[in-house]
A and B are shown apart, each in its own frame.
Chain A
């Protein structure tokens, strides 16, 4: 297992490097100068500008610039925001926990929907429950997150006036009241993301379970006289989870896309809304850094999926 883990970590590194190359190429191909501010400022004489460019390494060949950029990224020197003049890594660290909390909670919600519904549907194939669940799952993942978000606001904030539609960081309450307010303002963002993911996963779980129930070891387990619940939980679901984990890992980029939209709708102060505000205000260092953080998060979750995979299916860790 340790060896397997080590190998997965080592495989993640080239992917991260690959993404950094893509990011840097995009930036380098882009027309215009990220330091346009300086270039168009008439107060700076041309020779000073030249020296500045040279000291920043902007005239070096592209591969040297890539290594310089990568080196400073690795050392945690991510530059300063053009707008707020705060180090970019501080800005991101302030907002990362909110994003991770919202995404994490919504994934848990999605799992709580997808597992029982998917297993129930697959153990009663083509029943009424299966058909209803399947149709609802289709509807669920065809509803774009930005539309569900608006519909929920319309229903719960405007019509019923139960939940606030703007996420606030400054709740002036303590103890239980604080938790209550926090819960109320988190319900909608988490539900939007969780329902969307849950719908997609339900279909994965259903088809994976359908594949496993017809295998011989399940028949054997039933023939031994094990109760049906134990057969389903121990013999079917665990094996069915193996392909599901892969599919869920493939969905991670979509999850982050949904998170950006959701944060924007409910004004959740996470890195997704930071990305949008910095694009709207041309804040290049922040945009680059946030994109890179998202990429790193995707790779990290792929790694988690790989580890889960090795735990669910011990055969592959010996390979």
Chain B
């Protein structure tokens, strides 16, 4: 009997990596994103100019060797401010994604396991949240709660918690729908049936058998959620209603820059480019991950 040609065994993750590599733009985006994240995390260690050093002689100065990305209207160094702001924008993105995924997985799993009336109610709530006008509501909630949270935990932490929670609470619906759909199909599969026959508890069924198999689409949705959260935070800051003025998030930098467009275009262009590069590479990365982890979907 001839042995079949020896072929390297690849696990599911190896298979996913093979599919991911085929999406060239996604690979490039992953590199760009890694550079950006590394830049804002490690960059300030090498670029030690303080973010709030005022230097009126360099007011609105364009890019130069001393200040590669130029200065703002107080002569503060923009490179340092963009790196500092990037930390906050990215932290908001990841934290809000974590909130959204947690809520989404919980709602989706409960609806998918329970079925019946509970499922109907949860899905009605999901649809309701999908038709809420998110930006006006975000603005309303921040307007109403900002001051009291500031008093409790200080301006920076308070606004951070507030922004992360609400952006997360407005972004969980897609994840919930995906998880619910996955649960509906997975819970009837034979391997789940087998586990149930072996006496696995409901909790074990969900956490060990169903959820790991529903993970692919959730990872994809989570990636896109990071981009959505970064845009949401930047929008709030751009409208002047996000972080306090002394915290230069990317959106806040654009807000400050927009009235000086004619003298100092660099002030708006660099933070804007930072947002754009981050968001576009996250979106491409999500697209590549979809090819890798969720090959059945077409969109």
Contact = CB atoms under 8 A, between A and B. Distances in A.
Interface string A18-32: 110011001100111
Contact of B132 (A141, A253, A264): A253
B298 A27 contact: no
B128 A146 contact: no
A19 B128 CA distance: 7
Nearest to A131: B25
Interface residues of B, number: 47
A146 B137 contact: no
A1 interface: no
B140 A288 contact: yes
Interface string B249-284: 001001001100110010011001001100110011
Contacts of A38: none
Contacts of A22: 128, 132, 137
B235 A146 contact: yes
Nearest to A12: B131
A14 B276 CA distance: 38
A143 B276 contact: yes
B130 interface: yes
B133 A150 contact: no
Given A150-B258, A153-B261, A207-B299, A290 B131 contact: no
B275 A138 contact: no
Contacts of B148: 31-32
Interface stretch (B47-55, B211-219, B236-244): B236-244
Contacts of B130: 250, 253
Interface string B10-48: 000000000000000100000000000000000000000
Instruction: Report which residue of B227, B235, B251 has the largest number of chain A beta carbons within 10 angstroms of its beta carbon.
Output: B235
Most chain B C-beta atoms within 10 Å of own C-beta, residue among A14, A141, A150: A150
A15 interface: yes
B135 interface: yes
A133 to B, nearest CB: 14
Interface of B: 25, 124, 127-128, 130-137, 139-141, 143-145, 147-148, 227, 231, 234-235, 238-241, 251, 254, 257-258, 261-262, 265, 268-269, 272, 275-276, 279-280, 283-284, 287, 298-299
